[in-house]
Structure formats: C-alpha cells, structure tokens
Structure 1
Amino acid sequence: MFHKTSIFLILVAIITFVSCNEEKKQVPKKKVEKVAPIKKVEKKIKKVKEKEVLEEWDTLDRTNVDAFFTKYGELNKETKVLITTKFGKIKLRLFNDTPIHRANFIFLTKIKYFNTAYFYRVAKNFVVQAGDSDKSETARIRGKYQHYRLKPEIRKRRRHKYGSLAAAKDVENNPKKLSSPFNFYIVQNKKGAPHLDKEHTVFGEVISGFSTIEKIAKVEVGSDDWPLEDIPMTVEVIN
C-alpha cells in the first residue's frame, strides 16, 4: 500500500500538471506580423500613386480642354517618352512650343491609354500611325473623356521631316483642323511629307529608334493599311 504522504504528493503533481495544461490552452497565441516582400510593397505604392493620378485628373471633357492641359502642362513638364514594341524601341522628344499637344501626350501616357493601343496603320514610304485599336478598353477611355479634340498648334518651323511626330485629324468636316488627341503618326518617308505642313500639328520628333520605324514599315498590311498582325505598344515617360 502507498503511504499517505506519497499519495498526497502524487495527487498534487497530477493537479499541477492538469493546471499547467489548462493555462497553456488559455494563453492566446501571439500574432506574428508578417513583413511583405519589398517588391510587393513597391507594387502596392505604385498602384496607389496611379490611382491618385487618375482621381486628381479625372475632370477632362470637351468643355475644358485648353484649361485642363494648360494646368496639367505646368505641373507635368516632361518632354521625353519611350515607345516599346516587339520590333524595338522608339524614343521621342516633345516640343514645348506646342504645349497643349505635349501635355495631352504626357497625360495619355501616364494614364496608360497608349498601352491599350496599336500601331494600326502602316502606309509604306509615308507614315506609321498609332493610338487606336479594336479593344474595348481603348474605346472606354475615349468615351470617358467625351472624344475631346485639340485646337491646332501649327508652327511654321515645325515641318514634316523624316521622324516627325504629328497629330492625326479628321479630314472631312473639320475646318478648324482640330487634332485627334489619341491618334498620332511618325513620318517614315526619308524625304519627309511636306504636303502635310500647315495641315497637321507637328508636336515632337524621333531622337532614336529609326530602325524600329523601318521594321514596322515592312510588315504586311491589308487593303486599309491595317497590319495583318497587331503591333501593340507600351509608352512611358522617361524624364
């Protein structure tokens, strides 16, 4: 038989063991704060900034074009952009003496409109044209801003030379020569396109990437000059 003292000590040990287990069960586990990887944090910050840009500049419509881009241009003074395609890159310099067209191009670049669009017209030995597509996102952005137009900023010294960047426009029923803000073209003919002088606003020029333009100019096209294979692009501000 166990001695009474031994039995008492065993009971105390059992009670202590059970009590300790209960305490362990009742103590909540401390939450460990997980630190997000740097790349994920940077990506999140970038999205927040892009959202702020869209919200801050979301008032553009047909009625306030000049005022909108005058203010936007004062706050966004960049003049260089980079177009990337599957054929290579094209670096552009935008002119400060066409301030509304410059600000418009920077605006559409920053809201990533051009990233929804293609080089959709290749008129060999003439121009390569971009800024449109058959995608719903392209149409959505155009509709959001009411398909606004830009007043011409035609300058005598800005000619349609090889590599000139200019704004497309409607040929018919457009006596004021209003520019399309979305569609642009680059002169691919090495002799230029002088017959377009004083008709379209030249608002920039190619500073590198002429070989890319020549590669685009060689693609197969249909009867409407639309490439048989889409030529998507991404456009970004580089200064």
Structure 2
Amino acid sequence: MKYSSLYVTAFLLCLASLYSCKQKEVQPKEKVVLKKVSIKKIEKPLKKEVVKKVTRDTDTINKNNVVAFLTAYGKQHPETVVLFETRFGNIKIRLYRDTPLHRANFIFLTKKGYFSTTCFHRVVPNFIIQGGNSDHPLTRKLRTKYNYVIPPEIKSHRKHKYGALAAAREWDNNPKKLSSPYEFYMIQDKRGSHHLDGEHTIFGEIIEGISTMEKIAALETDSKEWPIRDVYIKARVLR
C-alpha cells in the first residue's frame, strides 16, 4: 500500500506538470501596437533649429498621395543609412531597398526632423524597444498634420531577427496591415521574435550600436512600459 500510494502521488504530479506546460504554451504572443500618448512628464524643450526645421514644408504628403509622394521622394533621395544619437550611445541603421515606401518615409521624416522630436517610448525586455513618439506637443502636431499610413511591404525573406527594424501598426480594424509612418521597433530578443513574421513590414536593421539598444532595453519603466527617464533621439541621414 505504501508503494501504491507513492505511485499515485507521482502520477498526479506528472499530470500537474503536463497541465502547467500546456498552460504556458497557449500564452498569447506579445504584439507591437501603436501607443496612445498622453502628457505625463515635464516636457524637455526642443532646440530652436529643430522646431524651425519640422514646422516648415509639412503639407507635402497626405493620406491621398502617400504612394505617389514616397515613390517620387525615394527616387530623389536614395540614402539608406540613418544615425540615431542618444544619451546611451549611437545606433546606426541600414534601410532595405526592397521596401522602397518605408525606406523613403524613414528618410523623409528623418530629414524633416520629425524623429528628433521623439524618444524611445516603449521598452519590453527580451522583446523590443519602440520609438517614434513622445509627449511633446510638436510631435503630436506633426502626427495630426501628416495623417497617413503606408501600404505594407512584407517580404517572406525578411525575418524578425535580432536587431531588425520594423514598422508598428494598428492591429484592430487593419486587415491590410497598414504601417504607421512614425513608430518603429527594434528586435531585442536574441532568438528573434518570429511570431511577428508576416505581420509587420521589416524595412531595415541595426548595423552598429547593438550595445546601445541593450542599454535602453535594460532601463526601468513605468506601468505603461515607458522609460522613467526619457531617451530622446537625435536623428540624421548619413548616406
């Protein structure tokens, strides 16, 4: 009877273990969504040259001409390398030519100074760091004024590998998987985040500054995954 009781106990423990494993398998995968931003911090004033740069010539693109505009802009501006400067170091990004609309959009917003009004506003360790938004009034003003989305350029050979750069998007009521022109994310999971393959447009990758991404990913955040102290971006096109 003693041994029988031990066998029953062991059997029940095995069942409990299998049930626990099964529960872990069905946990929903993390998504990359657009974050709704509200004023919650003391705003850091932008340099006068940044404000002047981003407030001129903002009527050139809209939701009705986005494809034609970005196609033409991409031909006139063939650059593929962008530098992000942060207080933790630099991140150098290479943009892919086989995602021409997303490449042109990133170059356009960088040259207009949009990204220099933003910060890394979402950090999820072992998943992503997300940027392209802030609680500064100028950022919100530009997002409202431009008001467009980008058709997807999802490629089967582009994967959410470590260091990949991709466009955030709305998941609800967005069957065409249209991309946000403003918000992007970088994959910080060294195994990749392949549950997102085919769901978002991957349009570049980090070529220098992986260690900077890792420093940002280690920051303390609030309950909304926003770093306690803002990580502002200064962006410029290199070549």
Normalised to the residue count of structure 1, the TM-score between the two structures is: 0.76
Relative to 1, partners in 2 of residues 1:56 and 1:141: Cα closer, same or farther, differing over 3 Å? closer
Residue 58 of structure 2 contacts residue 145 of structure 2 at CA under 8 Å; is this kept in 1? no
User: In the alignment, does 2:173 pair up with 1:173?
Assistant: yes
Relative to 1, partners in 2 of residues 1:117 and 1:55: Cα closer, same or farther, differing over 3 Å? closer
- 1:173-220 residue CA offsets vs partner (Å, 9 max, x unmatched): 111100000000000000000000000000000001000000000100
1:90 is matched with which residue? 91
Q: State the Cα distance separating 1:90 from its structure 2 match.
A: 0.3
Q: State the Cα distance separating 1:128 from its structure 2 match.
A: 0.2
CA distance in 2, matches of 1:56, 1:100: 20
Matched residue of 1:212: which SS? helix
2:204 is matched with which residue? 204
1:111 is matched with which residue? 112
User: In the alignment, does 2:180 pair up with 1:151?
Assistant: no
Q: State the Cα distance separating 1:59 from its structure 2 match.
A: 2.1
Relative to 1, partners in 2 of residues 1:181 and 1:100: Cα closer, same or farther, differing over 3 Å? same
1:214 is matched with which residue? 214
Unaligned runs of 5+ in 1: 1-46
CA distance in 1, matches of 2:57, 2:68: 15
- 1:94-147 residue CA offsets vs partner (Å, 9 max, x unmatched): 0000000000000000000000001000001000000000110001111111x2
Q: State the Cα distance separating 1:58 from its structure 2 match.
A: 3.2
2:162 is matched with which residue? 162
Residue 54 of structure 2 contacts residue 114 of structure 2 at CA under 8 Å; is this kept in 1? no
What residue identity is the alignment partner of 1:73?
G
| Segments of 4+ moved more than 4 angstroms | 51-57
Matched residue of 1:105: which SS? helix
Matched residue of 1:180: which SS? coil
Q: State the Cα distance separating 1:222 from its structure 2 match.
A: 1.2
CA distance in 2, matches of 1:179, 1:231: 23
Q: State the Cα distance separating 1:56 from its structure 2 match.
A: 6.4
1:122 is matched with which residue? 123
CA distance in 2, matches of 1:53, 1:98: 25
Unaligned runs of 5+ in 2: 1-47
1:238 is matched with which residue? 238
What residue identity is the alignment partner of 2:94?
R
Q: State the Cα distance separating 1:224 from its structure 2 match.
A: 1.3
- Among all aligned residue pairs of Structure 1 and Structure 2, give the percentage whose two residues are the same amino acid: 54
Larger CA Rg, structure 1 vs 2:
1
1:186 is matched with which residue? 186
CA distance in 2, matches of 1:179, 1:139: 18
Relative to 1, partners in 2 of residues 1:52 and 1:234: Cα closer, same or farther, differing over 3 Å? closer
CA distance in 2, matches of 1:52, 1:85: 20
Relative to 1, partners in 2 of residues 1:237 and 1:119: Cα closer, same or farther, differing over 3 Å? same
CA distance in 2, matches of 1:55, 1:81: 22
Matched residue of 1:108: which SS? helix
Matched residue of 2:183: which SS? strand
2:77 is matched with which residue? 76
